[in-house]
Amino acid sequence: MDLDALRAKKGFICDMDGVIYHGNKILDGVKEFVEWLYANDKNFLFLTNSSERSRTELKQKLARMGLDVDESHFYTSALATAKFIKSQCPGATAYVIGAPGLYNALYEEGITINDVNPDYVIIGECRTYNYESLEKALYLVMNGAKLIGTNPDLTGPTEKGIAPACKSLVAPIELSSGKNAYYVGKPNPLMMRTGLKLLGVHSDEAVMIGDRMDTDIIAGIETGLDTVLVLTGCSTRATVDEFPYTPKYILNGVGDIPTK
């Protein structure tokens, strides 16, 4: 496979879970890939559907793995969700099931917490998800609150294997209420367009790298980017055939990109 055209791209949008790391374990070749991005003055952005962590926390997480990446290189579905809510309903209130990264993003956009009569019920990844919070969310949605999911991922890769992700947590509320959530993260073009704007390059000059066909690759295709599927996360070469579209490149991991 000729990778010269890929290496010549000016901008790289890269997923994180399953591409850069599994949980707290950095993947093979990632350090070399990041060093290559810096050495070749590439514009790059880590665009993650996870809403658990803030930019600062993501920077610190990578630092613990031996990578020094500035906060400006991160954009999350939590930030995209907060931006979307503010654009729709400035000063909105919300009942939130999620981690600190989501709460912080919402607070920064002037969205406050309300568990009585909120405008929105917002759900992201959360380690403390329980029946009580599910029951409360369902009650509020049935009483008029709009249902928002930070991203449509059903599962995500961890050191132990596959774990439930955001859409799996939203699904019981959708099924019980009969109402569909609006999902802000990839492949939603709202998040992708913001990512390109932050990257500062045209779509023709950029590439999307991810491990999921149903979010990363379709997001890149629909935004006009070349796409790279890496096999370090949720996908295999066999699963590619299950979809009616294909990535431009299929690599074992991002470590295949730097020139040897």
Q: How far is CA 18 from the centre of its chain?
A: 11
- Report how far residue 138's alpha carbon sits from residue 115's, in angstroms, rounded to the nearest whole number: 12
Beta bridge partners of 148: 122, 182
Inter-residue long-range contacts of 188-193, CB under 8 Å, 24+ positions, other chains counted: 188/80, 188/219, 189/219, 189/222, 189/223, 190/80, 190/84, 191/47, 191/75, 191/77, 191/80, 191/219, 192/13, 192/47, 192/219, 192/220, 192/222, 192/223, 193/223
- Of the residues 2, 17, 119, 211, which is catalytic? 17
- Report how far residue 146's alpha carbon sits from residue 180's, in angstroms, rounded to the nearest whole number: 9
Residue 140 has, within 13 A of its CA and on its CB side, a CA count of 26
| Active-site residue flag, 15 | yes
| Active-site residue flag, 214 | no
- Of the residues 4, 15, 28, 256, which is catalytic? 15
The CB density around residue 16, as the number of other CB atoms within 10 Å, is: 22
* Burial readout 163-176 (b: 16 or more C-beta within 10 A, e: otherwise): eebbbebbeebbee
Q: Is 125 left (phi over 0), alpha (psi -120 to 50) or beta?
A: beta
What's the sign of the alpha-carbon dihedral 135, 130, 128, 152?
A: negative
- Report how far residue 49's alpha carbon sits from residue 107's, in angstroms, rounded to the nearest whole number: 19
Residue in 197, 209, 239, 181 with CA at minimum distance from that of residue 17: 209
Residues labelled as active-site residues: 15, 17
